Amino acid sequence: MNLHRHSPELRTLLARHLTVFERRKMPRNRRRLASVALTVVQDEGRAAIAVTRRSASLRAHSRQWALPGGRRDPGETAVEAALRELQEEVGIDVGEDEVLGVLDDYATRSGYVITPVVLWTDRDWQELTPNPAEVDFVRPFSFRELARPDSPVLQSIAESEEKVLSMRFHDDVIYAPTGAMLYQFREVALFGRHTPVAHFEQPVFAWR
């Protein structure tokens, strides 16, 4: 199978791998609950994940690469929050029948427990409409690039015993937590490898 082509066969493979994945939930411990959408989109017939650049006007984590997502509203499930945030940030409606699975929770240094929800759409990434209050622009993270052998990059820092993880993205890198979630998506959904990522560290600039 061509793992880089956006196709019904690829969707079936991703769903199968995610169905047998036993995800790790994380206790809240006074942290806020959030969800992000790992959305498989088309890029001229190729498969990609929609990645956003956060608006420069945001108070927290401005100009950083991210996945559509945010804090859950009271009573919302992880899936409901991911679908709502996807619509609010990039203007597309995806139904619960397009949910392929859920990855491990990831606890951030800034006080959130994030649940990554994997979604499928036949829309091309160029059809997404960024909400300028939250998103400067959208870019496709192709499956071919996700699978490159020189990713992830692990770096040691003096402030933590764990290594900082990042994923190479064109001539840039995407740090954890977003980078960790993209890496686990690659490992679990694409390759069927149950690779944990919650222990990987974030860069110090993301701790606040």
Q: What is the mean pLDDT of the chain?
A: 94
pLDDT band (50, 70, 90) for residue 61: low
- 192 pLDDT higher than 70: yes
Identify the CATH number of the domain defined by range 8-147. 3.90.79.10
The pLDDT of residue 54 is 79
- 152 pLDDT higher than 60: yes
State how far the Cα of 164 lies from the Cα of 157, in Å rounded to an integer: 7
Give me the mean pLDDT over the 140-150 stretch: 96
Using one digit for the tens of pLDDT, what is the confidence trace for 98-118? 999 999 999 999 899 999 999
State how far the Cα of 18 lies from the Cα of 198, in Å rounded to an integer: 17
The pLDDT of residue 100 is 98
Q: Which residue intervals of the chain are DSSP H helices?
A: 8-19, 78-90, 143-146, 178-185
Using one digit for the tens of pLDDT, what is the confidence trace for 2-58? 889 999 999 999 999 999 999 999 999 999 999 999 999 999 999 999 999 877 555
The pLDDT of residue 62 is 54
Rounded to a whole number of angstroms, the distance between the first and last alpha carbons of the chain is: 43
Cα angle value 76/71/190 (rounded, 5°): 85
Count of positions (residues) in the chain:
208
| Residue type, position 43, single letter | D
Pairing, β 32-43 against β 112-124? parallel
Query: Does residue 152 have a cis peptide bond before it, meaning omega lies within 30 degrees of 0?
Result: yes
Q: The whole model's pTM is what?
A: 0.95
Give the three-class secondary structure for 25.
coil
Q: Are 69 and 36 in contact (CB under 8 A)?
A: yes
- 150 pLDDT higher than 90: yes
Cα angle value 91/45/83 (rounded, 5°): 25
Specify the range with the lowest mean pLDDT, choosing from 69-83, 141-155, 194-208.
Answer: 194-208
Contacts of 25 by beta carbon, 8 Å cutoff, 6+ apart = 105
Contacts of 121 by beta carbon, 8 Å cutoff, 6+ apart = 39, 40, 41, 92, 94, 98
The pLDDT of residue 94 is 95
- 96 pLDDT higher than 90: yes
